[in-house]
């Protein structure tokens, strides 16, 4: 179980880092100073902000999320990215539209990496189901062999 959570956390962290690096490469207003360490820290802080703050923001803006059919979640993603830039000193996002575009890029990168994250989440259940099936099959079979 511990390995499953570690793998899922690693995929989310790598997705955030790749998304931030891609946003910095594509958008001129988005930059990170201090090298890869700043990028890794920003990815970890963004994962923590998405874990702790994002559900609260979604809860309080739920009517807007429902009315816009989920499009308001992009604004929430931009807010969490802005909060991350306030915490991480070397991450600069520019204005609102560059922050919004960076949040869109990070969201798309995480969407592409979602199958690996979900596979990490399901792996423990699949292993348990396989063990249970093998145990049932082992008990069900007649192991005396032919002619016994």
Structure confidence by residue, pLDDT tens digits, 27-63: 999 999 989 999 999 999 999 999 899 999 999 999 9
C-alpha span between 79 and 54 (Å, rounded) = 9
Structure confidence by residue, pLDDT tens digits, 93-147: 999 999 999 999 999 999 998 887 776 566 555 566 666 766 776 666 655 555 5
pTM above 0.85, yes or no: no
SS3 assignment for 96-116: HHHHHHHHHHHHHHHHHCHHH
Q: Which of 7-11, 31-35, 47-51, 74-78 has the lowest mean pLDDT?
A: 7-11
C-alpha span between 28 and 104 (Å, rounded) = 15
């Amino acid at each position: 179980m511990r390995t499953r959570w570690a793998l899922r956390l690693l995929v989310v962290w790598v997705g955030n880092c790749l998304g931030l690096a891609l946003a910095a490469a594509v958008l001129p207003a988005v930059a990170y100073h201090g090298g890869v360490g700043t990028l890794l820290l920003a990815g970890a802080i963004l994962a923590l902000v998405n874990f702790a703050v994002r559900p609260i923001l979604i809860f309080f803006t739920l009517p807007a999320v429902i009315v816009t059919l989920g499009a308001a979640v992009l604004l929430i993603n931009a807010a969490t990215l802005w909060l991350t830039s306030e915490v991480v000193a070397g991450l600069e996002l520019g204005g609102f539209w560059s922050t919004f575009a960076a949040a869109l890029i990070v969201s798309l990168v995480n969407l592409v990496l979602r199958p690996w994250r979900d596979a990490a989440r399901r792996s423990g259940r699949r292993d348990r189901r396989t063990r249970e099936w093998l145990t049932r099959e082992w008990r069900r079979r007649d192991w005396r062999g032919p002619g016994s």
